[in-house]
């Protein structure tokens, strides 16, 4: 059975539904935090992420009219994270989320493909992202897609550090995620 996924730029009227998908998607990682206060702060940041004026593109994936996934794309890592100094001067993916009921249907691939196409349109050779080493499903997803770790830009070395991944925009995808 083929699922018809539409990926389009989000509109402000979509924000509440996007936040619901983000929170529902990221809840699987709550136990990795071991600290309720830290988790609450993280979820609060996710809820407020749509207010970041530096988002270059906010994409949503729809199936049958409902938002089932989302991703944020920034011009650079520094714009993705307020107050964070980063030398990564490439398009940067943040907060990829797919509703748990729609995982395994190609939603993440469609969103990542759109980010790669946008990075190409920005005339950039790579697109980057950070993920936590404790987010095992996310790490596996990015590796299956073809992202490679870029250890030069890893942050920290504990469970609250971040792994840096990059993807060359000239690569053609053929394998499913």
Q: What is the mean pLDDT of the chain?
A: 91
Distinct helix (H) and strand (E) counts, the chain: 5, 7
pLDDT (tens digit, 9 = 90+) per residue, 23-42?
A: 999 999 998 888 899 999 99
Q: Write the CA distances from 4 to 63, 66, 106, 107, 174, integer angstroms.
A: 6, 12, 10, 10, 18
The larger pLDDT score, comparing residue 2 to residue 3, is at 3
Task: List the beta bridge partners of residue 66.
Answer: 63
Instruction: Over range 111-140, report the average pLDDT.
Output: 94
Write down the pLDDT at residue 49.
95
Write down the pLDDT at residue 1.
45
- Three-class SS state of 57: strand
> How far apart are alpha carbons 70 and 139 in whole angstroms?
17
- pTM of whole model > 0.85? yes
Nearest 5°: phi and psi at 112? -65, -40
């Amino acid at each position: 059975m083929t699922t018809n996924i539409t990926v389009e730029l989000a509109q402000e009227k979509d924000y509440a539904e996007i936040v619901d998908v983000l929170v529902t998607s990221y809840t699987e990682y709550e136990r990795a935090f071991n600290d309720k206060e830290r988790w609450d702060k993280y979820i609060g940041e996710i809820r407020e992420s749509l207010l970041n004026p530096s988002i270059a593109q906010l994409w949503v994936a729809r199936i049958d009219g409902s938002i089932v996934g989302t991703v944020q794309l920034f011009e650079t890592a520094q714009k993705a994270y307020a107050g964070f100094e980063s030398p990564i001067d490439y398009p940067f993916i943040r907060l990829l989320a797919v509703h748990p009921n729609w995982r395994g249907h190609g939603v993440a691939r469609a969103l990542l493909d759109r980010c790669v196409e946008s990075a190409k349109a920005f005339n950039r050779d790579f697109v980057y992202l950070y993920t936590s080493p404790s987010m095992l499903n996310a790490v596996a997803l990015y590796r299956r897609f073809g992202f490679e770790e870029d250890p030069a830009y890893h942050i920290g070395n504990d469970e609250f550090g971040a792994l840096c991944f990059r993807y060359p925009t000239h690569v053609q995808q053929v394998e499913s995620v």
